[in-house]
Structure 1
Amino acid sequence: MDEIKKHSHVTVIAATNRFNATDSGLYSFDCKVYLDIPDSAGRLKILRILIQYTEIADTTKTLQSISAETHGYVGADLASSISKAVSLEIKEKMGTLVLQKDAIDGKVLNSLVVTKHNFLSALNQSNPSALRKTVVVVSTTTWGDIGGLDSVKRELQTLVQYAVEHSEKFLNL
C-alpha cells in the first residue's frame, strides 16, 4: 500500500462490516469514511429507493412502520427483506395463479401488491446485521437466591426495581 501512495492517480475504495478484521495496511490511507447504521429516517429513505419498482399496499404508512421496526438493519438487510416480502406475496398468489408454459401473465405480475403483513413475515425470517453479534442474557436469579445482605438488597430494590415498576411516579422529577 505504501507504493500506491507514491502514485497520485490511484484511488482505493474498500468497504467492510468487519473493520477490525481488515489488513492494517489499509489503515495508512489519508481518508477513511465511516458509515453509521441508519436510523429510522435513514432506513425510510433506503426503503423508498429500494421499492421504486415494487407495488406496496398503503406505501407511506407501511414504509414508516417498517422503518421504525427495523432497528439495526442496514441497506443490505432491508433489500433482502423486501425480496423476501415479494417472494411471500408471490407464494400467496400462487394458489390463485394458473401457470401456462412456465410463464406468469404480466397482468398477474402487475397485480402483486406487497403488504405490511408480507414485510413483517419477511422480517421474522431475518436478523439485522448490526445486532448479529449482540447477545441478550436474561438472568434467572431472583432476590431470594441472594443470601444475606438484606439491607443492601432492600436498598437496590428501592432504587432500581421500584423505579422500573412505578415509572409514572418519576415522570415529573
Structure 2
Amino acid sequence: MDHFNQALATINPSSLRETIVEVPDVKWEDIGGLEEVKKSLQEMILFPMPGCGKTLLAKAVASECSANFISIKGPELLTMWFGESEANVREVFDKARASAPCVLFFDELDSIGTQRGSSHDGTGVGDRVMNQLLTEIDGVGVKKNVFFIGATNRPELLDDALLRPGRLDQLIFIPLPDLPSRLSILKALTRKTPLASDVPIEFIALKTEGFSGADLAELVQNASKAAVRDLINFERSQEVADGAPVEPAESGQVVGRKHFEEAFAQSRCSVSASDVLK
C-alpha cells in the first residue's frame, strides 16, 4: 500500500492536465508591502492598480494553505460557439473541485462578470456566462475546500449579484506601493541578486514614487541585464596576466549603482495619474 501512496503522489489525473494546477512556492515574505491586504484575504474580489501583485497574493494564499492553485483569465473562457463559454466555466470549477483543496483565481473577472443586460449584442451569451458563474460560486460555497478569488481593474462593471453576501462580498483595493512598501518590494526582488555595497536601496525606493510592483521588478531586471552586459564586455576585452583571479566587483558580477542608473533611463511608471483617479 505504501508503494501505491508513493505512486499517487507523482500522478496528475488526465482530466486536469490541460489546466495548470500547481502548489506555488510563494510566501508572505516574498511579497513586499501590502500588509493590510495580507491580513484581509478571504473569499473576495481584489481591485488593484495594474502590476500591483494580485496574482502573487493569490499564489501566496495557496502556498500558505498548502493548497493547489489554478489561475484563469476571464477572456480565455469566452468563445464564439453557442454554449461553449458556459461549458468552459463549468469545466474550470469541476477541475478546481477535483484538485481540492484548491485556490481558484480569476483574473480580469469583469470580462465574464459584467452587469446582465449590458452587452446589447442580442446573443445573451454574457448573461448566460454570468448565470453559470453565479451557479458555480454557489456550488463552491457548499464545500469550503475550494477558495475563490477574483481580480479586476474595473469593479464598477461587475454584476451586483456577484457582490452579495456569501459570494464575493469582500472588495479589497490594492493601491500603488508607498515608500515602506517599495523598500520592502525592492528588498524582496534583490534577495537573490548580488548587489554592490554602493547600491542605495533606500534612495531607489524614494526615487520610484508612482512605480507599481511590476515597474520595480522591471527596474531590477534591467539593472541586472546591465551588469551582465558589463561582465560580457569585460571578459571580451580584459586579459588577465598569469591567470590572476578577477575580483567580482571588477568583473561586473555584482549589480552596482551605475547599473541602476542605466536602468532608470529605460524605466517609466506604467500607471498614469488618470488610472489612479479611476
TM superposition score normalised by structure 1: 0.60
SS at match of 1:33: strand
The answer on whether the counterparts of 2:179 and 2:209 sit within 8 Å (CA) in structure 1 is: yes
Residue in structure 2 matched with residue 19 of structure 1 by the alignment: 154
RMSD: 3.1
| Aligned match for 2:175, one of 36, 42, 48 | 36
Residue by residue over 1:67-86, the C-alpha shift from the partner in whole angstroms, topping out at 9 and shown as x without a partner, is: 00001112111111111100
Structure 1 segments (4+ residues) deviating >4 Å = 20-23
Deviations 1:39-85 (A, max 9, x none): 111100011011011111226x6110100000111211111111110
Residue 269 of structure 2 is matched in structure 1 by: 128
Instruction: Indicate how the Cα distance of structure 1 residues 131 and 58 shifts in structure 2: closer, same or farther if over 3 A, else same.
Output: farther
| Matched residue, 2:235 | 97
Q: Are 2:227 and 2:259, in contact at CA under 8 Å, matched by a contact in 1?
A: yes
Maintained 8 Å contact 2:211/2:270: yes
User: Secondary structure in 2 aligned to 1:91?
Assistant: helix
> Is the counterpart of residue 83 in structure 1 residue 221 in structure 2?
yes
What amino acid is the match of 2:188? I
Shift of 1:24: 3.7
Change (3 A) 1:21 1:94: farther
Deviation at 1:120, TM superposition (A): 2.4
Residue 117 of structure 1 is matched in structure 2 by 258
2:271 is matched by which residue type in structure 1? A
Superimposed CA distance per residue, residues 96-143 of structure 1 (whole angstroms, 9 cap, x where no aligned partner): 115xxxxxxxx97x9611122211221221222333757xxxxxxxxx
Q: Is the 8 A contact 2:134 2:162 kept in 1?
A: no
For residue 97 of structure 1, what is the amino acid of its counterpart? E
Task: Check if 1:2 corresponds to 2:147.
Answer: no
Distance 1:118 1:30, change over 3 A: same
CA distance in 1, matches of 2:170, 2:271: 24
The change in CA–CA distance for 1:58 and 1:132 in structure 2 (over 3 A counts) is farther
How far apart are the structure 1 equivalents of 2:151 and 2:175? 13
Partner of 1:63: 201
Give me the whole-angstrom Cα distance separating, in 2, the residues matched to 1:23 and 1:13.
14
The gaps in structure 2 that reach 5 residues or longer are: 1-132, 237-246
Count, aligned residues: 125
What SS does the aligned partner of 1:7 have?
A: helix
What TM-score, normalized to structure 2?
A: 0.39
Distance 2:174 2:268 in 1: 19
Distance 1:26 1:118 in 2: 50
1:21-53 Cα offsets, whole Å, 9 max, x none, are: 864468522112111111111100011011011
